[in-house]
Copies of this chain bind each other. A is one copy, B any other.
């Protein structure tokens, strides 16, 4: 069976109003999920933390954000990438309000090393 080549633009289908962060799955496969996430000033709810079972790689394609960890913060801008091992608690503390922060996120099975 031949599956088709799929393609698109990373900025397509973003509504003018964005009451919540927008998550779109672009591709997936066994254990893997590639998502476009669009934030427009959105942050993780106060006192909430992500504690994920998967490893996550993110590239900031446009915009700016700050990730908060238990021991440090990371200021991110377009062109920065971060690789987050599973169960490293983190939250999105800030995203720029007047432009879209577009994250390309790749979730994969947790690595042991």
Contact B30 A81 (CB under 8 A): no
Contact B34 A31 (CB under 8 A): no
In the bound complex, residues from chain B placing their C-beta under 8 Å from that of A8 are 80-81
Contact B26 A83 (CB under 8 A): yes
Given A32-B108, A57-B26, A108-B32: A5 touches B69 (CB 8 Å cut-off): yes
Tell me how many residues of A have a C-beta within 8 Å of chain B.
43
Contact A111 B30 (CB under 8 A): yes
In the bound complex, residues from chain B placing their C-beta under 8 Å from that of A55 are 27, 29
- Least CB distance from A59 to B in Å reads 6
Mask: chain A, 20-48; 1 = CB below 8 Å from B; 0 = not: 00000011111110100000000000000
The 8 residue pairs across chains A and B that have the minimum distance between CB atoms: A3-B85, A29-B111, A32-B108, A7-B82, A27-B83, A6-B83, A29-B108, A30-B109
